[in-house]
Chains A and B, each alone.
Chain A
Amino acid sequence: MSLRTRIRPRGFQVFIALLIAAAVCVVVAGCGGSGGSSDSTESGGETTESTGAGSDSAGVARAKAAVAKYEKPPTSIGITKPLKTKPATGKTIDMVVCNLPVCKIFITTGEEAAEALGWHVKAIYTTGTPEDINAKISQAVSEKPDGILTSGWNRSVYEEALKEAEAAEVPIVTSGTTDKTEPPFIANTVGIPVFVRNGEILGNFIVADSNGKANVAAFNIAEYVHLRALAEAIESTIEKQCSECGAKVVEQQLTDIGTDLPSNVVSTLQADPSINYLAFTDGNFSSGVVAALREAGLSEKVKIVLEDPTEANFPEILAGNEYAGLAYSQPWVVWTGFDSFARYFEGEDAQNPPLAMPTQILTKSNLEAALEGATNTWSPPNMQQQFKELWHVE
């Protein structure tokens, strides 16, 4: 019996199936990617290779100067104009937030801000899918609150619910999106300029820390458009400050967090062993990465830096497993949101200055002092007091 007849269709079909699958993937991957880098910017995904030799001393000096002020705690909350009068009490704000730990912080700090103003807060959690965001915003609108506070989703995700809010004249304060301040939005407290600035800070920090010898893989979750701006700012800053450095953006998907992302990070490092920095555009994205690097024996070969370190990241930073985090104060976002509502209700301009958000580079050496006893979030020093003074409430 010949070999051909012994290989029955059943076995041969598996062979064909996997070859087809592999061929499809190779073709599609080849069409979708370029030069070995994964999905990056529409402009072409600039990927520069680090030669690992020499340093751009002028760029390093510029980078060090640029990050110097962020290595110390900020002194101002970035908003300095007081309200003309003390705001009216008795308002109700619905907060539509995500189901990550960071959003629990949103609610608890929202309740603190509301208490200072004599207002009430209702929390509505969403899974983050477009359908659920629409449903929850719509639910909030139907409750006819004085305002809705939300964060992180571009209006295109929940346009239907926004129409309902506009029709019902319910003002919305958002943050962390690319949205312009158009009805029903009365303010976007953290717009794209902040994320670009934060990306520049991280990029400069990496250049300064590496003394101009960095090769960075910046991991972002594709669903978060505003964080893509941050990732691109990291990439462009590094390329601008350091001609010998390399940087690329590696896109992942939301369901990869804690599941495939850690192994994808390892694969990225294996594919390019010259990478010596990993940047995550949000602290939540690094879930499981430290463990994966440890398993792969790569812990000592890279430094992890991230934006918006969370309570899960703080122990890792203190232990030296994660190198640095750029603080993104969720409490500041919330208090600024309430500040916007207070100004709106009193007939004043609700939109805060675009780069008002204070920040600080948190490392093992300064983290405990920076947290001031808190375990789950960072706030600018004396933040609540400064807001209360602006609101004429004590």
Chain B
Amino acid sequence: MNKPPDSVPVPSDGGELVSSEGDGVRPRFHLSLPPLNNVSLLMVWAAVILLFGITQPETFLTAQTAKAVASDQAITAIMALSLVMPLAAGVFDLSIGSVMGFSVVMVAWFQSTAGMSPAVAIVLTLLCGLLIGTVNALVVVRLGVDSFIATLGMSSILLAAIQWVSGGQQIVTGIPSGFTDLGREQIFGIAMPFWYMIVIAIVLWYLLGYRQTGRYLYATGSNPNAARLAGVRTDRLKAVSLMSSASIAALAGIIFTAKIGSASLEAGPPYLLPAFAAVFLGATQFRSRTFNVLGTLIAVYVLATGVKGLQLSGAPFWVEDLFNGVALIVAVALSVRASRKRA
């Protein structure tokens, strides 16, 4: 097989899929301002802050609110980040919610029931996540099962595994303070989950934006046949992306358990929809029509800011689900419509 070129050809649909700084030349590490239309979420964020700042000035425009939003959405952001790589590679991972839920139970079980130290429990739980991702990859890549179906099936299997490991009981005691400190300590007044999310985001941003792996992932996702013909190992990239999404989701579960201090059996699945909403919404930003880290993060916090503002305004508990659902459907529907018009 010929060695793939250092830069992968841009697909004929004209999409901005690679950082084309010249064939065969690795892009220089620099930041350039994106076009105005690709930063509309920032404008929306500003508008939301302005709206609720006017209507709820005493409660919304406070450092406490900002820190609360930053901290509260960290788990959601991590879960959304876990989806960027597989979606960039053109595969769905619907199992991340259950992976997170499974890791919540496992990391708690390792410590409270098996008596392991936090470090060992964390490593083993991450390995569990990696294993789940590997199984997903085998089913999708080797067996050829559609990723949507394969990961949906895995999700169901993990729900059963959660019940089996926990015996149907939440784990509320036996989690050492050394572990919960990892989720409750604060830096600059913001809890540690936020900072873990920042680290994960930086790593992914660098990998996807400035490494060959990232370019190949996007190429695989945009036109797998062309990428394969160009020498890109598309199957391997899909496998790696599924393994990474499961590992990051497992990490989210570990962080969640450290923050809460107990293992709920329903912890993971509620994060699935918000994660997908954020990633798809973020795909309209910065790197046009591609799933990207910065857009995803901005989307998470734009949605969270809107929900927070509504909560402070006295909205009922179901407003968050409503807001996420409506935003996702409308944004993706308009995106599909715009794509069809251009075609």
Contacts and interface: CB of A to CB of B under 8 A. Distances in A.
Contacts of A288: 259-262
B316 interface: yes
The range of chain B's interface size is 35 or more
23 contacts: A7-B40, A9-B341, A13-B334, A13-B335, A17-B281, A18-B41, A18-B306, A21-B306, A21-B330, A22-B48, A24-B326, A33-B314, A38-B314, A38-B317, A104-B167, A125-B168, A252-B317, A255-B269, A258-B267, A270-B62, A288-B261, A295-B68, A295-B184
B260 to A, nearest CB: 4
Interface residues of A, number: 72
> Which of the listed residues A104, A267, A288, A311 has the most CB atoms from chain B within 10 Å of its own CB?
A267
**For chain A, what secondary structure do more than half of its interface residues adopt (helix, strand, loop), or is it mixed?**
helix
Contacts of A125: 163, 168
**For chain B, what secondary structure do more than half of its interface residues adopt (helix, strand, loop), or is it mixed?**
helix
Contacts of A6: 35-37
A39 B326 contact: no
Nearest to B264: A258
Interface of A: 3, 6-22, 24-26, 28-29, 32-33, 35-39, 99-101, 103-104, 125, 127, 222, 250-260, 262-264, 266-268, 270-271, 273, 284, 287-288, 291-292, 294-297, 310-312, 315, 375
B310 interface: yes
Contact of A267 (B264, B308, B338): B308
Closest 10 CB pairs of A and B: A13-B334, A36-B314, A11-B37, A11-B40, A99-B168, A312-B172, A17-B331, A29-B315, A267-B311, A17-B330
B339 to A, nearest CB: 9
> Which of the listed residues B40, B48, B173 has the most CB atoms from chain A within 10 Å of its own CB?
B40
A260 B316 contact: no
B127 to A, nearest CB: 25
Contacts of A375: 173
Given A7-B37, A13-B338, A263-B68, A36 B317 contact: no
Contact of A297 (B64, B281, B317): B64
> Which of the listed residues A35, A252, A295, A296 has the most CB atoms from chain B within 10 Å of its own CB?
A295
B44 A28 contact: no
A9 B338 contact: yes
B29 interface: no
A25 B315 contact: yes
B313 interface: yes
Contact of B72 (A14, A24, A263, A311): A263
B37 A33 contact: no
